[in-house]
Amino acid sequence: MILDLDKFVAKERPFWDELTELLRLQDENSDYKLTLEQAKRLFYLYQRTSADLVKMKTFAGEAETSQFLENLVAHAYSRLHEDGGEKIRFRPWQWLTRNFPSTFRRHWIAFALSIGTFWIGAGFGATALNYNYELKSDFIPPQFSHLNEKPSKRVAREEKQDFDAFQGRHQFSAQLMTHNTKVTIMTMVVGFLWGIFTLILLFYNGTLIGIVMFDYISDGQGTFLTAWLLPHGSIELPAIFIGGQAGFIIAHTMFGWRTNLKLRARFARIRGDLITLMGGAALMLVWAGIIESFLSQYHDPLFYPWKIGFGAIQLLGLILFLTFSGRRKPELSS
Amino acid sequence: MIGRTTVLTIQTPEGVSFTIPIASPISRCLALAVDFAVIFALTMLISQVVGFLSIAASGVPVLGDILSDFGNGFMIVAQFALAIFYGIITEWLWSGQTLGKRLMKLRVIDERGLSLGLKQVIIRNLFRLLDILPSNFYLLGGTSCLLTKRCQRIGDIAAGTLVIRETRSIAPQFSELMERDENSFAAKPHLESRLRQQVTPDEARIALDAVVRRNELEPKARLQLFEELANYFREMAEFPEDITIGLSDEQYVRNVVETLFRQAAT
Q: What is the 3-state secondary structure (H, E, C) of A219-270?
A: CCCHHHHHHHHHHHHHHHHHHHHHHHHHHHHHHHHHHCCCCCCCHHHHHHHH
Residues B125, B211, single domain; the answer is no
Residues B161, B179, single domain; the answer is no
Residues B97, B199, single domain; the answer is no
Main-chain phi, psi angles of B19, to 5 degrees: -120, 150
Calpha distance A298→A109 (Å, rounded):
36
DSSP B11-60: E-TTS-EEEEEBPPHHHHHHHHHHHHHHHHHHHHHHHHHHHHHHHHHTTS
Question: Of the candidates A188, A296, A302, which has an alpha carbon nearest to the alpha carbon of residue A243?
Answer: A188
The answer to whether the CB atoms of B72 and A177 lie below 8 A apart is: no
B135 touches chain A (CB under 8 A): no
Residue type, B157: I
pLDDT digits (tens, 9 = 90+) for B148-165: 888 899 999 999 999 998
ipTM: 0.84
Q: How confident is the model over B52-79, as a mean pLDDT?
A: 80
Q: Quick check: B160 and B120 in contact, CB under 8 A? A: yes
Residue B266 lies in a domain: no
Residues B140, B41, single domain; the answer is yes
Residues B215, B97, single domain; the answer is no
The whole-number pLDDT of residue B175 equals 59
pLDDT digits (tens, 9 = 90+) for A276-290: 999 999 999 989 988
Residues B43, B98, single domain; the answer is yes
pLDDT digits (tens, 9 = 90+) for A116-167: 999 999 999 999 999 988 888 888 888 777 788 888 898 888 888 776 656 6
- Residue predicted with more confidence, B95 or A255: A255
pLDDT digits (tens, 9 = 90+) for A53-75: 888 877 666 667 777 888 888 88
Residue type, B186: A
Q: Quick check: B113 and B10 in contact, CB under 8 A? A: yes
Question: Of the candidates A104, A120, A99, A117, which has an alpha carbon nearest to the alpha carbon of residue A319?
Answer: A104
Question: Of the candidates A239, A245, A233, A238, which has an alpha carbon nearest to the alpha carbon of residue A198?
Answer: A245
Residues B149, B222, single domain; the answer is no
Q: What's the pLDDT band for A334 if we cut at 50, 70, 90?
A: very low
Q: What's the pLDDT band for B169 if we cut at 50, 70, 90?
A: low
Angstrom CA distances, A10 to A2, A7, B172, B175, stand at 16, 5, 11, 9
- Best mutation target among A1, A3, A4, A6 (most B Cβ atoms within 10 Å) is A6
Residue count of chain B, please give it: 266
Main-chain phi, psi angles of B20, to 5 degrees: -125, 125
Residues B211, B146, single domain; the answer is no
B204 touches chain A (CB under 8 A): yes
Contacts of A158 (CB under 8 A, 6+ apart): A299
Q: A88: how many CB neighbours lie within 10 A of its CB?
A: 9
- CB-facing half-sphere around the CA of A51: CA atoms within 13 A: 8
pLDDT digits (tens, 9 = 90+) for A161-184: 776 656 677 787 788 888 888 999
Residue B2 lies in a domain: no
pLDDT digits (tens, 9 = 90+) for A221-238: 999 999 999 999 999 999
Residues B130, B201, single domain; the answer is no
Residues B86, B200, single domain; the answer is no
Residue B41 lies in a domain: yes
Residues B113, B219, single domain; the answer is no
Q: What's the structural domain count of chain B?
A: 2
A2, A13, A53: residue with CB nearest B204: A2
Residues B148, B110, single domain; the answer is yes
Angle (nearest 5°) at CA A190 between B146 and B106: 40
Domain that holds residue B26: 7-165
Show residues of chain B in contact with A71, CB under 8 Å: 166-169
